[in-house]
Amino acid sequence: MWKKILLGIAAVVVVALGGLYYALYQPDIPRRVLEAKYAAPPSQFVVLNDGARVHYRLRGPADAPVLVLLHGSNSSLFDWEPWSKNLSDRFRVVTVDLPGHGLTGAVPNGDYSEQGMAVFVKAFADKLGLGRFAIGGNSMGGGVAARFAELYPQRVTQLILVDAADMQTAFGDRLPLAFRLARTPVLNRLLLHITPRSLVVEGLNDAIVRKAALTNTLIDEYWDFARMAGTRQATITRFQLQPDTYVRDHVGAIKVPTLVLWGEKDHLIPVAAAHAWAKAIPGAKLIVYSDTGHLPMEEDPVETADAVRAFLGTQTH
């Protein structure tokens, strides 16, 4: 009798879990659907030699100094739209979706490491005919920008680090649930099929202190791109990579003028990392914004863009 009861309970649990999975299941969004929604001008695409189809945006005079901006983890080039519009009167602003992100999405070589992304940025810059340029990045993209400056110093005129990864000794007190799940074996497989909007809301709510920046448009961008065909697998692949200390180990190789911008209330990468960057790079300028979180360029787009304009304007290209 007990065997029948246990089997009955097991059957109920299986049916309940199956129903829950069916209710929460979200299929991939085809690339063409998201391109139709998000790839309006000035969006463009270019195919690299390894077959990667890259989404980018370019604004500003053709003969102006070039500024390349790299977004953070699980984000896209749209995080830089306020800066791009603000700075394109004097600079040639180039924003790009990194591998496994935005409308670039999964790439043929399957390399989503920081090293792979730095090589990707070089291949992209070469394809566009960019010679020497200023480069900046937020969070993961800041780490990629710093690595690029270390690997290809002859290509970089200035470096801008916005709440940049790679110099922190530990993460802050609010690591997003989506990040924790992506790093957890077995559970991370669920993210291939179940990516609720609430995960995005939770992550952005912790990242953004100035809530006026937390719009439905921003949330939908993150959520849509996270579900593009191939991106969820790319994300899991990226989060399973071993920690890499290359940037921190080679930070002494960075010799170019550097601007470090940081949100004082960043709960993901604590402000202590900003001071570590400023101390490690001789002559680096540090600006910390009070009541600001992990995305200063979204939370305070005017003041942060003005700081970049002043910084780039005082440097010799």
Q: 283 lies in a domain? A: yes
Other residues' Cβ atoms within 10 Å of the Cβ of residue 29: 17
Pairing state of beta strands 156-162 and 285-289?
unpaired
pLDDT of the residue at 187: 76
235 half-sphere exposure, CB direction, 13 A CA radius: 29
Whether 70 is covered by a domain: the verdict is yes
Q: Helices 231-239 and 216-226 sit at what angle, rounded to 10 degrees? A: 90
Tell me if 1 is assigned to some domain.
no
Backbone φ and ψ for 151, nearest 5 degrees, come out as: -80, -35
pLDDT of residue 12: 34
CA distance 77 to 137: 10
The answer to whether residue 4 sits within a structural domain is no
Is-contact 296 261, C-beta < 8 A? yes
Range of the structural domain that residue 54 is part of: 31-313
Query: To which H or E segment does residue 162 belong?
Result: strand 156-162
**Is 79 within a domain?**
yes
Number of domains in the chain: 1
Q: Are 101 and 75 in contact (CB under 8 A)?
A: yes
CA atoms within 13 A on the CB side of 294: 27
Q: What is the pLDDT of residue 18?
A: 39
Residue 23 lies in a domain: no
Written as tens digits, the pLDDT of the chain (317 aa) is 555 544 444 333 333 333 334 346 699 999 999 999 999 999 999 999 999 999 999 999 999 999 999 999 999 999 999 999 999 999 999 999 999 999 999 999 999 999 999 999 999 999 999 999 999 999 999 999 999 999 999 999 999 999 999 998 777 666 776 777 777 776 777 877 899 999 999 999 999 999 999 999 999 999 999 999 999 999 999 999 988 999 999 999 999 999 999 999 999 999 999 999 999 999 999 999 999 999 999 999 999 999 999 999 865 44
In the structure encoding, which two tokens stand for residue 123, read together? 């291949």
Q: Is residue 77 part of a domain?
A: yes
Residue 290: give its domain's CATH number.
3.40.50.1820
Instruction: Indicate whether 265 belongs to any domain.
Output: yes
Place of tokens 């989503």: 112
